[in-house]
């Protein structure tokens, strides 16, 4: 635990020097330069306290790293604007702030412009400060949101806030020293009025959400050097940090409860309900199902209106966590569509919770297109900020939570397979809910990965790429790679000039290639094309244009046309084989993640 606290302290200090915190720096400098000498300390302490509250105590409302609920943010903006206006009118500020000195019995007895007024401004900044969301901060927020704060989570959050605040204090003291020299030469209250204008403008900028747009633009900009955007990324993504962060996140309470009851006696299914030859799993009550929380667009509902579990009471509900480029999720869709077609009229509801893995999966248009192309008729909701994911303490794609007519979770399934048992559970819960004369069991063909699959999922980004699977390590920025001519099994390499971002690699020059050796039946790759302009990627198998008999569904004439932001099927062999695939990628095409089947 001590080592994790040290990592959090360093990560907090590192994020304080990134562009992500730029929106609050002008307000920090201007507030520190005005008032008593203890004011910078008050500002930093106030920032540390409310920042910690924002990412821990208010995590149920945050659903994003560093930004508290709307009410807290609005209050913070009002405070910034009010203090800015006061600095613009020094005479009024003196009259209004004087009472603070009588209340601050344990603080410095200034005219209300020292420690305590600084704490108010710092507290406001803490609620609107949104540093780059690294793994440590993301883990603290998501754990707090899903399971509530505990002593270890709070300690990590405090260590992170301490590192952030220490650097902020240096900013404040440095700015105060510089502006102090200017003040000695300035006349009247010119400096105070200037600083007040900075605070006022900062508040207005945040009220217009321009700071949030700035941070989002930084997150999308892959041209900035990695040491500038996120200097502690390598530290936070290290195995030492990841292993310790894993200890903060408990397993899903539903999965834990189901594991305890795994030895329970199977359900004695009623006549006409049980599936011949299939063991109906135990269906204990695992706890009340969480609501759909902090969601965005709804699809396949009347008028796009949100659904609620309370409104679905009386129905059996299957909540499916998925994302549209996940091959494991895609392979579950025939089963889910079959369930819907067979049992919806008997009281089954399915809600697909689309929780994105990649940034482009947050786009409502992309999700709508995927729903149409996959032929999904049941309701789907976007969970871009992982609100519902965290409420369920979910950790996997795909994951199914089966809820009975009374709103209790009764069965959990992670990953692919187990379809017949899942259908048996659905049938039993429908019977419990009053459905009689159920139809015969489905005959939907199960789509499963090949039994001899030996090549694991391979990410093409520096955060999640396994070092032993890449011929050369990936680092953020534009680089030239030598490639790999004769890759060993499960080795992949880039050749040419590529831009590496936190999620993908993007070709920058003609002749760029990706080559890898796999042992599988099917090969898939998530790709996008800049500006949604159609671009053709050539697919080679063992160094030659791929034959039509071995080509995936998206390949025609040895090429795949990349236009939509989705998963593309590249190779489809009759059985598992050990082969080498090479992709000739034109400039503008980004590659995210290889999966195999």
pLDDT in tens, 521-568: 999 999 999 988 999 999 999 999 999 999 999 999 999 999 988 889
Q: Verify that 233 and 287 share a domain, yes or no.
A: no
Same domain, 54 and 168: yes
Q: Which domain holds residue 360?
A: 253-432
Task: Please indicate, yes or no, whether residues 216 and 279 belong to a single structural domain of this protein.
Answer: no
Residue finishing a domain among 414, 432, 450? 432
Judge if 406 and 489 occupy the same domain: no
The CA-based angle 520-523-398, given to 5 degrees, is 95
The region of weakest confidence among 145-159, 493-507, 510-524, 547-561 is: 145-159
Q: Are residues 229 and 83 in the same domain?
A: yes
The answer to the question of residue 246 being in a domain is: no
* Whether residues 421 and 513 fall in one domain: no
Question: What rounded mean pLDDT belongs to the chain?
Answer: 78
Nearest alpha carbon to residue 541 among 564, 562, 565, 515 = 515
DSSP-assigned states of every residue in 440-489: PPP-PPP----TT-----EE-STTT--GGGBSS---SEEEEEE--SSPPT
Out of 156-160, 412-416, 427-431, 523-527, pick the least confident: 156-160
The CATH number given to whatever domain includes residue 331 is 3.40.30.10
- 391 with 480, same domain: the answer is no
Pairing verdict, β 409-414 and 477-482: unpaired
Identify the residue with better confidence: 530 or 139. Answer: 530
Sign of the alpha-carbon torsion through 237, 241, 243, 248: negative
**Residue 501 · residue 230 · CB < 8 Å:** no
Q: Is 442 within a domain? A: no
User: In the prediction, which pLDDT does 61 show?
Assistant: 43
The candidate with the shortest Cα–Cα distance to 225, out of 482, 500, 20, 459, is 500
Element (H, E) at 426: helix 419-432
Angstrom distance (rounded) from CA 468 to CA 81: 53
Highest mean pLDDT, choosing among 49-53, 59-63, 92-96: 49-53
80: left (phi over 0), alpha (psi -120 to 50) or beta: alpha
Reference 48, options 9, 86, 80; nearest CA is: 9
Same domain, 192 and 272: no
The confidence score (pLDDT) of residue 105 equals 40
Cα–Cα distance, 125 to 102 (Å, whole number): 25
Asked whether residue 452 is domain-assigned, the answer is: no
Q: What is the mean pLDDT of residues 236-265?
A: 67
H or E stretch covering 282: none
pLDDT bucket at 91, cuts 50 / 70 / 90: low
pLDDT of 342 > 80? The answer is yes
CA–centroid distance for 408 within its chain: 27
Q: How far apart are CA 363 and CA 361, in angstroms?
A: 5
Confidence of residue 214 (pLDDT cuts 50, 70, 90): low
Give the residue from 398, 432, 466 where a domain finishes. Answer: 432
Same domain, 405 and 552: no
Shared domain for 266 and 221, answered yes or no, is: no
In tens, the pLDDT along 293-323 reads 989 999 999 999 999 999 999 999 999 999 9
- Structural domains of the chain, count: 3
- What tens digit of pLDDT does each residue of 105-131 get? 433 344 445 677 777 777 777 766 655
441 occurs within a structural domain = no
Contacts (Cβ under 8 Å, ≥6 apart) of 483: 471, 493, 494, 495, 496, 513, 515
Tell me: pLDDT of 333 over 80: yes
- Shared domain check, 273 and 208: no
Whether residue 87 sits in one domain with residue 196: yes
235 is a domain residue = yes
């Amino acid at each position: 635990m001590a080592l994790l606290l040290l990592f959090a302290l360093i990560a907090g200090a590192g994020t304080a020097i990134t562009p992500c915190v730029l929106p609050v720096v002008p307000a920090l400098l201007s507030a520190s330069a005005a008032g008593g000498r203890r004011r910078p300390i008050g500002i930093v302490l106030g920032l540390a306290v409310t920042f910690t509250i924002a990412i821990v105590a208010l995590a149920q409302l945050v659903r994003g790293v560093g930004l508290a609920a709307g009410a807290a943010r609005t209050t913070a903006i009002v405070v910034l604007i009010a203090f800015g206006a006061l600095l613009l009118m020094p005479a009024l500020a003196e009259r209004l702030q004087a009472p603070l000195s009588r209340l601050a019995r344990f603080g410095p007895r200034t005219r209300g412009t020292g420690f305590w007024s600084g704490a108010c401004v710092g507290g406001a900044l803490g609620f609107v400060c949104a540093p780059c969301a690294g793994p440590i901060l993301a883990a603290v927020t998501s754990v707090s949101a899903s399971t509530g704060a505990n002593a270890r989570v709070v300690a990590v959050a405090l260590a992170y806030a301490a590192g952030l605040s220490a650097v902020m204090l240096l900013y404040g003291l440095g700015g105060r020293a510089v502006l102090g020299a200017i003040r000695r030469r300035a006349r009247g209250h010119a400096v105070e009025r200037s600083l007040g204008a900075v605070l006022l403008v900062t508040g207005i900028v945040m009220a217009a959400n321009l700071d949030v747009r700035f941070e989002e633009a930084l997150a999308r900009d892959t041209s900035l050097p990695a040491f500038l955007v996120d200097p502690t990324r390598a530290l936070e993504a290290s195995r030492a940090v990841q292993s310790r962060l894993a200890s903060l996140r408990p397993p899903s309470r539903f999965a834990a409860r189901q594991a305890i009851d795994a030895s329970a006696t199977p359900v004695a299914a009623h006549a006409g309900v049980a599936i011949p030859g299939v063991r109906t799993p135990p269906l204990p009550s695992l706890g009340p199902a969480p609501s759909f929380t902090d969601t965005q667009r709804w699809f396949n509902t009347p008028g796009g209106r949100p659904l609620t579990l309370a409104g679905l009471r009386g129905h059996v509900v299957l909540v499916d966590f998925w994302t549209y480029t996940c091959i494991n999720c895609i392979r579950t869709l025939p089963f889910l569509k079959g369930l819907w077609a067979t049992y919806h009229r008997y009281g089954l509801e399915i809600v697909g919770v689309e929780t994105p893995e990649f940034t482009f999966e947050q786009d409502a248009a992309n999700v709508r297109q995927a729903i149409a192309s996959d032929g999904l008729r049941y309701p789907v909701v976007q969970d871009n900020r992982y609100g519902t994911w965290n409420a369920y303490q979910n950790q996997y794609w795909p994951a199914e939570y089966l809820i009975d007519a009374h709103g209790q979770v009764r069965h959990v399934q992670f990953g692919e397979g187990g379809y017949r048992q899942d259908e048996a559970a659905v049938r039993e819960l429908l019977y419990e809910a009053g459905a009689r004369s159920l139809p015969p069991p489905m005959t939907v063909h199960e789509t499963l990965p090949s039994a001899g699959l030996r090549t694991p999922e391979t990410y093409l980004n520096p955060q999640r790429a396994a070092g032993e699977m890449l011929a050369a390590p990936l680092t953020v920025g534009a680089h030239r790679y030598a490639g790999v001519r004769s890759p060993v099994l499960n080795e992949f390499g880039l050749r040419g000039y590529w831009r590496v971002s936190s999620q993908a690699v993007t070709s920058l020059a003609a002749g760029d290639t990706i080559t890898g050796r796999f042992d599988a039946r099917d090969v898939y790759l998530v790709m996008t094309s800049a500006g949604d302009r159609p671009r053709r990627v050539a697919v080679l198998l063992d160094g030659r244009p791929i034959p039509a008999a071995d080509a995936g569904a998206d390949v025609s004439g040895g090429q795949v046309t990349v236009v939509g932001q989705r998963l593309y099927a590249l190779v489809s062999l009759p059985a598992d084989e050990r082969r080498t695939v090479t992709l000739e990628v034109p400039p503008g095409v980004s590659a995210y993640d290889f999966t195999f089947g």
